[in-house]
Each structure stands twice: as C-alpha cells, then as structure tokens.
Amino acid sequence: MQRYSVFAVARQALSQQMGWGQTWARAWADAAPKPRYDAIIVGAGGHGLATAYYLGRNFGITNVAILEKGWLGGGNTGRNTTIIRSNYLQDASAAIYEKSRSLYETLSQDLNMNVMFSPRGVMMLAQTEHEVRGYMRTAHANALQGVETRFIGPAEVKKLVPIIRLDGPRYPVLGALWQPRGGTARHDTVAWAYARACSDMGMDVIQNCEVTGITTDQGRVTGVETTRGAIACGKLGLVTAGHIGETARMAGFRLPVESLCLQALVSEPIKPAMDVVVMANTVHGYMSQSDKGEMVIGGGTDGFNNYTQRGSFHHIEETVRALIETFPMLSRLKMLRQWGGIVDMTGDRSPILSKTPVEGIFVNCGWGTGGFKAIPGSGWAMAELMAKGHSPLTEEFTMFRFREGRFIDESVAAGVAH
C-alpha cells in the first residue's frame, strides 16, 4: 500500500496533483471471488470492514472475503449523521462504545487515511425534570465506568452553543449531559480507510456480489451461494444491518430484530454557527454543523416496519418543527437534501454480537440508530469473537439474552436509541 503523507502531497504538487492515477494503485483491489476463504464477512459497511480489518491486524487471519451486494459503504455507513459518543448508562454499553470512541481518536494514523475525526463534544439536552435526574444518574455511572462526562447547567449550555434558546415554552433547556471528547467523523472515509487497509493485507473486497443462500452440513456452516458463484468458508460473519433478518433466515434461524427507516436531512450551507453536536431526546432530534457549513439534522425512526430509503415529509416536519423552538435560526434555512437508512432494532435497543445456532456463523446487528459511533469497537469485538470464540466486549450482547431475560435496556436508560 502506498502511504499517504504530506511529502506525497508535496511531490504531487510538482505535477499539479495530476500524477496520482499514474503512480499510485487503486485504494483497494477490485477482487474476484476465490473458491474458499478462512472467513467470509457478509456486508461491506463500516462494521463488516472493521471486523475484517481486526481479524487480520489482531489475529493474523487474512484469507478473508468481504462480500457486498451493492457498493462499498452504500448502506447505513453512508446514510448517517456521524455522531460519536460513549456516555451510555449500562456497563456493557459504555465498555464497547468507549472502546470505539478511543479507537476513533487514532484511526487516521492507524489506517493512514484522514477520517476527519473531530472531537468537538456531544451535548445531550435535558428538557424535562425527568431527563435532569436521568442524566445526572448517567454522569455518576460514567464516572464509575471511566467515561469522561459531566452534567452542566443552562448557563454553560448557552456558552457552548450561543444559538440555542433556553426558555422554549414547551421544551426549556434545564441542562445537559456533556461529553467533551465525543464528536464526529467522515462516514464515507471510515469505510474507505478500512477497505484500503483490508485490501493491503491481501483480503478480497468484492462488490456487486449478493449472497443468495448459506450452506451448512450437520449444523456447521460450509459456505455461501452468491450471484457470482458458490464460495466455501470456515467461518461466516453476518453484518448486514437492516437486512440481517433475511440473511439469518438463509442460515435457518430467526433474530429478535425489526427493520425501520431512519431519516435525516441537511440544510443549505451557512457560516459557522455551532461547533458541538447537540442531541435533544425529548423531541428526538439532533444536530451538528458539517465542515461544509450544512446543518446536519436527524430524528427518530418511522413508526412502522419498512425497508424504504426514501424518507417522508411528515417525519422531517415533526423533527424540524420541534428543533426550531430550541434553535429559532433554523426557520430561515432551506433544506438541501434528505435521505433514509434501514436500521435494525432489538427490543432493548442494544446490539447483538453473538454466536448463533449454526456453528461457525456469527452475527453483528441491532445497532439501531447508533451504529456509526460503534464501528471500530464493534469490529474489534466481533473479530475477537470470530477468532477466539469469545470476547469480553460481546459477552452481554448474545442473541440468546432475550429468551433468558437478560436485557441491556438502553431504550429506558437513555430515552433514545442513538
């Protein structure tokens, strides 16, 4: 792999940056399927690519294929609002999200590509007395977990976000849970960087290769059927987000997940107005400003199961109407574009990283509306689970916890799935 550096940029400047295509190879190879791999990852989004990368980096397993039915990073990885935080209440959640947040801090150096990680801070507004008590509880829990957060009052909220209105008639701001080391990153580049690193280790990133069946023998996985032929494997990781129910069905088991559309939008670009991420859980809206000046706005999921990626007007209207009360300046902006992503939700709004009833098949799903922040930590944990059969980070997230009543109920703890 040719390394990106300031010296490479300087050398290319001598030819007006026209020499990249002639002297540098593609970021990742356009591979064709081989007959057999030690491991196959289904889904070339952030979680799937990170799993493959840490299989190679941490365990030396490089005879790996990452299969994607469309284009790399074209699912939820390219359709989110890039929030990174780890201030969760439950110990298991805080552990895996904090692992992920800490990996994000050095990800650009580790992968030799600028993922544009911006630790600008994440603020979760308390707009009811119930939220004040809940966030103070979370702050105490985070202190015990080693996660740096604190509860701040309205005056500090206003200092950090001058455009905010504190005295809204329906949603006054009573304080906020503040994580100064949370932030954002560039979603596309995260996927590209992992793909480039996987390809450099000799792994095959295979796009336009849809899995149509999973083959087993006496309860153990033997391979997959794809639109590009049959491929044998020793281990299989299913990392297909909103379509995980369908891929699990091919293997002969069911998962306790449902698929929903999550919508977001960006405004026209404006001058810098806020340099932190703000989440308003009472109205289920959240906002940050991109490097291009767009206000990136997201809301909740649709109230019914579906696989659409188009979005709908009424849901955007509800989110923006509520946010305008807290951020009046939004009322003067035009919407530039909107989109939807298919998210997979579990009953307790916590993910599944687990072995399955089929030996050799592992599943990574259920991240709901907060999957982007977990990409490095999820990949690290899933790789350890696939390589060793267990991981301290995944022990609580087994798919069997639902029948055993061992919920990790972040929907109640956080009041929001993000």
Structure confidence by residue, pLDDT tens digits, 323-369: 899 999 999 999 998 888 899 999 898 999 999 999 999 999 999 88
Looking at 72-81, 212-221, 370-379, which range is the least confident one? 72-81
Residue 2 is classified by DSSP as P
* Per-residue confidence (pLDDT) for residue 170, from 0 to 100: 86
Phi, psi angles (nearest 5°) of residue 277: -100, 135
pTM, two decimal places: 0.94
Distance of CA 330 to the CA centre of its chain: 26
Asked whether the beta carbons of 345 and 85 are under 8 A apart, the reply is: no
Choose one of 293, 315, 346: the last residue of a domain.
Answer: 346
By CB atoms closer than 10 A (0-12, 13-18, 19+), residue 257 is buried
For range 138-153, the mean pLDDT:
96
Using DSSP's 3-state secondary structure scheme, residue 204 falls into: strand
Kindly state whether residue 19 falls inside one of the protein's structural domains. Answer: no
Short-list 67, 65, 69, 66, CA closest to 37: 65
Specify whether 320 is located in the same domain as 210.
no
Residue linked to tokens 């966030």 = 135
Higher pLDDT, 7 or 389: 389
For range 169-178, the mean pLDDT:
94
* Per-residue confidence (pLDDT) for residue 9, from 0 to 100: 80
Asked whether the beta carbons of 163 and 327 are under 8 A apart, the reply is: yes
* Per-residue confidence (pLDDT) for residue 22, from 0 to 100: 56
Specify whether 51 is located in the same domain as 129.
no
Domain that holds residue 320: 122-182+259-346
Specify whether 274 is located in the same domain as 377.
no
Cα–Cα distance, 90 to 413 (Å, whole number) = 8
Tokens representing residue 47 in the block = 């979680």
Kindly state whether residue 271 falls inside one of the protein's structural domains. Answer: yes
* Per-residue confidence (pLDDT) for residue 141, from 0 to 100: 95
Domain count, the chain: 2
* Per-residue confidence (pLDDT) for residue 417, from 0 to 100: 46
Specify whether 35 is located in the same domain as 107.
yes
Kindly state whether residue 368 falls inside one of the protein's structural domains. Answer: yes
List Cα–Cα distances, 292 to 108, 186, 271, 273, in angstroms.
20, 12, 9, 12
Specify whether 390 is located in the same domain as 264.
no
